[in-house]
Amino acid sequence: MPRKMPRLLCLTAHPDDEAGAFGGTLLHYAALGIETHVICLTPGQAATHRGGAKSDEELSAMRRKEFSASCKVLKVTQGKVLDYPDSLLDRQNFHEVVADLTAQIRRLGPDVMITIGTEGGVTAHPDHSMAAIFATMAFHWAARSNRFPEQLQNGLTTHQTQKLYYGTALFSIPDRQPISPAPSSAIIKLTQEELEAKIAAFKCHTTQSPLFPFFEGTVRKRGSGELFHLAATSKPKKAELETDLFAGIE
């Protein structure tokens, strides 16, 4: 049987995180023939900017469409929006959310996972922190036969993803809550074309258009690379600077 293509799984909290935080990296790996998958935990129904939506349900539906359009621009193999409640991720049942994500990882079998940092990214959003924490435990527990053993039937097996990265940054946004991000250990440099596509993908999120000028300004000023912190690896090793998240992947 031919070896499957390497797989990247990106776990986020809100539609627009995939473009804003990881757009360049998703494009970069798609261009290298790697399968890219995005799982977004919430449909973003608690957003401040609502694009004229009359209800949370209407905003959710709009943002799911925007997410699909953004994933298309970013050449994502498969993008999924789950149905957890926006801005309430810290009040969800930890066991249930991690079980859900563990099952997704066991089904998909990614080689590398990327998610937001536990500080919550530069916006310090609590949902971002929770996405990181849920993703981290699902990363570890998907590999263990004594975690959620009830999932291990009908051909579903444990899966040890080889690396987990947190997105990180070398700056903070003034007037936001303080953040303590993980130090960067990997950089994915973006071509001008990738940078433009990342901005275009973010702009698919039309309900969030009041954020466009700030986002575009920040990306043009600081966005020549996306930074990561290697948070866990299946092959214990000393930290080193990387320019490829798939370095050392078998």
- Binding residues (CB under 5 A) for Zn ion: these are 13-14, 17
Which is closer to Zn ion, CB of 27 or CB of 122?
A: 122
Q: How far is the CB of 205 from Zn ion (least distance, A)?
A: 10
Which is closer to Zn ion, CB of 126 or CB of 225?
A: 126
Q: How far is the CB of 172 from Zn ion (least distance, A)?
A: 16
Strand order in the sheet with 225-233: 78-81, 35-40, 7-12, 112-115, 163-168, 225-233, 186-189
Which is closer to Zn ion, CB of 43 or CB of 110?
A: 43
For residue 90, give both structure tokens.
Answer: 């810290």
Give the position of tokens 């990738």: 194
Question: For residues 243 and 186, is the Cβ–Cβ distance under 8 A?
Answer: yes
Q: How far is the CB of 121 from Zn ion (least distance, A)?
A: 7
3-state secondary structure of 187: strand
Instruction: Classify residue 168 by its DSSP letter.
Output: E
Q: How far is the CB of 97 from Zn ion (least distance, A)?
A: 16
Which is closer to Zn ion, CB of 211 or CB of 232?
A: 211
Question: For residues 237 and 25, is the Cβ–Cβ distance under 8 A?
Answer: no
Q: Which residue is nearest to Zn ion (CB)?
A: 14
